[in-house]
Amino acid sequence: MKHKNVFKSGAIASEFIGESIAKHQSKTNIGAHNIFLGQVRADVINGRTIAAIEYTAYEDMANAKFHEIREAAFNKFDLTCMHIYHSLGKVKAGEICLFVFVSSPHRKVVFEALEFLVERIKSDVPVFGKEYFEDKTHQWKVNK
Amino acid sequence: MKHKNVFKSGAIASEFIGESIAKHQSKTNIGAHNIFLGQVRADVINGRTIAAIEYTAYEDMANAKFHEIREAAFNKFDLTCMHIYHSLGKVKAGEICLFVFVSSPHRKVVFEALEFLVERIKSDVPVFGKEYFEDKTHQWKVNK
Amino acid sequence: MTIKVKYFGQIAEVTGIQEEFVKFSGVTLMELVGKLSQKYPDLEKKSFQMAQNKELVSLDSKLTGDEIAFLPPFAGG
Amino acid sequence: MTIKVKYFGQIAEVTGIQEEFVKFSGVTLMELVGKLSQKYPDLEKKSFQMAQNKELVSLDSKLTGDEIAFLPPFAGG
Q: How confident is the model at residue A1 (pLDDT cuts 50, 70, 90)?
A: low
Write the burial class of residue B114 (CB in 10 Å: 0-12 exposed, 13-18 middle, 19+ buried). buried
So what's the ipTM on this one? 0.95
Q: How confident is the model at residue B122 (pLDDT cuts 50, 70, 90)?
A: very high
**pLDDT higher than 80, residue A20:** yes
| Beta bridge mates, D49 | D71
D6-34 burial code (b ≥16 CB/10 A, e <16): bbbbbbbebbeeeeeeeebeeeebeebbe
Q: Which of B53, B64, B126 sits opposite C74 (nearest CB)?
A: B126
Tell me what the mean pLDDT of segment D9-33 comes to. Answer: 96
**pLDDT higher than 80, residue B1:** no
D abuts A (3+ Cβ pairs < 8 Å): yes
Supply the mean pLDDT for chain B: 97
Q: How confident is the model at residue D65 (pLDDT cuts 50, 70, 90)?
A: confident
| Percent of chain A at pLDDT exceeding 70 | 99
Q: Which of A25, A41, A110 sits opposite B95 (nearest CB)?
A: A25
| pLDDT at position B144 | 80
Identify the CA nearest to A126 among candidates D28, C1, D71, C55.
Answer: D71
Tell me what the mean pLDDT of segment D36-41 comes to. Answer: 96
Given an 8 Å threshold on Cβ–Cβ distance, is A32 in contact with B38? yes
**pLDDT higher than 80, residue B35:** yes
Tell me what the mean pLDDT of segment A42-50 comes to. Answer: 96
Chain C residues near residue B122 by CB distance under 8 angstroms: 74, 76-77
How many contacts does A have with D, using Cβ atoms within 8 A? 70
C45 touches chain B (CB under 8 A): no
Chain A's closest residue to D77, CA to CA, is: A98
C abuts D (3+ Cβ pairs < 8 Å): no
How many contacts does B have with C, using Cβ atoms within 8 A? 70
Tens-digit pLDDT string for chain C (77 aa)? 899 999 999 999 999 999 999 999 999 999 999 999 999 999 999 999 999 999 999 999 999 989 999 999 999 99
| pLDDT at position A5 | 95
Identify the CA nearest to B3 among candidates B68, B86, B54.
Answer: B68
Query: Percent helix, strand and coil across chain A, each rounded to 5?
Result: 35, 40, 30
Q: Which helix or strand (DSSP H or E) is residue A127 part of?
A: strand A127-133
Kindly list the structural domains of chain C, giving each domain's residue range(s) and its CATH number in brackets, ordered by start.
2-71 (3.10.20.30)
| pLDDT at position D8 | 98
Q: Which of B18, B31, B107 sits opposite A18 (nearest CB)?
A: B18
Identify the CA nearest to D30 among candidates D65, D53, D2, D57.
Answer: D57
Supply the mean pLDDT for chain A: 97
Kindly list the structural domains of chain B, giving each domain's residue range(s) and its CATH number in brackets, ordered by start.
7-137 (3.90.1170.40)
**pLDDT higher than 90, residue A88:** yes
DSSP, res B96: E
Task: Give the tens place of pLDDT for each residue, B53-65.
Answer: 999 999 999 999 9
The pTM assigned to this predicted structure is 0.96
